[in-house]
A and B are shown apart, each in its own frame.
Chain A
Amino acid sequence: MKSNQNKSAINAGPNEFFLGVTTFFPLIFAATPIGLLFGALAAQKGMSPLEVLLMGSFVFAGGSQFLALDLWADPLPWLTIAFSTFLINLRHVLMSASLAPKLGHWTPLQKYLGFFILADEVWALSEQRAIKHHTTFSFYLGVGLTLFITWQVATVVGSLIGAVMGDPSRYGLDFAFTALFICLVMGFWQGRKTGVVLAASGLAAVLTHKFVPGAWYIIAGAIAGVIAAAVQYDEKTNGLQKPAEALQS
């Protein structure tokens, strides 16, 4: 029945979903402290737990939620907040464009509903999966729903207990997100060319972050990395290096 479909379709279903959940599992420890912190800060700004839940569910983008809190004031500068959110989330355009061709057999409905929860971590794990395999909808949903539930529970609990919780940096938990992303970056390592891309992104991001306010540093770093990759493109090797060469660099 499934003989004419590729391996990603054969592997679809509960197993792929469960694989998504277990792939996300370590990230629960990274997302929970960040969510608790967000909830606590939101409570300080006067947001009710239900408002925290609504923002988490509809926006579901941690970076922009923190940015919104930063701008939160009375009277509420809703236009500034909405525009800043849009700017910081512009990176999603590149993320979805990058992930779209790597999906398995998704229906249009699955794509347009599924990408509602295309948060950084969901995208990153889907890309990691796509290195070896098409990203199936079940896998994506396993990852995405686990983060969704983790994020909502953590932020609401954070807003309820708020003041009781201390500063997460005391336990180094503010570094959990950075550590996670470093691990994910290393998964994309393909040799010297990747090194040049990373150096260009890192440098551009640090400089932009230092001199330009807001979230432009993510866009600047992404563009610098993309340019570095385009410049290094070699028609003969098709941009990929042999494993032996990659090990040496």
Chain B
Amino acid sequence: MMSEVFAVDPLVLFTIVAMAAGTYLTRIAGLVLTKFVTFSGRTEAALQAVPPAILMSVVAPTAFATGIAETAATAITAIAALRLPMLAAMTLGVVSVVVLRMALTVI
């Protein structure tokens, strides 16, 4: 049992290292880029849109193209996020997705 827990296949390790190298490269690329390029005006405005644009892109397929329950729960979470603390809004979102999924299967 212990040997199974600690087993490491050499090819698996190699794959992990290859994945890690590529990932680290993407993470420091921005540091290197901003050292040589300064952003201002329109470019700066564009760069400021990166955080919401990426966050939106990550959730969009689940939020808008999975089902009615997910889309409705997304709307509920978004409205709740404007008024409630983050954990409360998240909890409300998760609870509403469960309730809506159950309600939609009953119908």
Contacts and interface: CB of A to CB of B under 8 A. Distances in A.
Whether chain B is bound by chain A comes out as yes
Contacts of A132: none
A75 B27 CA distance: 29
A242 interface: no
A197 B44 CA distance: 14
Contacts of A93: 26, 29-30, 33
A61 B34 CA distance: 23
For this complex, into which size category does the number of interface residues on chain B fall? 35 or more
Contacts of B13: 51, 54
Nearest to B22: A86
Contact of A226 (B7, B46, B58, B64): B46
Contacts of B54: 91, 94-95, 201, 218, 221-222, 225
Interface in B8-56: 8-9, 11-31, 33-34, 39, 41-56
Interface residues of A, number: 98
A90 interface: yes
A48 B63 contact: no
A60 B60 CA distance: 23
Given A78-B11, A92-B23, A205-B56, A171 B98 contact: yes
Contact of A48 (B6, B39, B47, B101): B6
Given A182-B81, A202-B64, A112 B8 contact: no
A68 B60 CA distance: 21
A97 B33 contact: yes
A58 B33 contact: no
A101 B33 CA distance: 11
Contacts of B62: 175, 178
Contacts of A226: 46-47, 49-50, 53
B106 interface: no
Given A182-B59, A220-B57, A116 B27 contact: yes
Interface stretch (A1-9, A133-141, A229-237): A229-237
Interface of A: 25-26, 29-30, 47-51, 54-55, 58-61, 63-64, 68, 75-76, 78-79, 81-83, 85-86, 89-101, 111-112, 115-116, 118, 120, 123-124, 127, 160, 171-173, 175-189, 194, 197-198, 200-206, 209-210, 217-222, 224-230, 232-233, 235, 238-239
Given A93-B26, A98-B48, 13 more contacts: A26-B90, A60-B23, A82-B18, A175-B97, A179-B77, A182-B63, A183-B81, A205-B57, A219-B57, A221-B53, A225-B56, A229-B53, A230-B49
Interface of B: 4-9, 11-31, 33-34, 39, 41-65, 70, 73-74, 77-78, 81-82, 85-87, 89-90, 93-95, 97-98, 101
Query: Nearest 6 CB-CB pairs, A to B?
Result: A225-B53, A221-B57, A96-B30, A97-B30, A229-B49, A179-B93
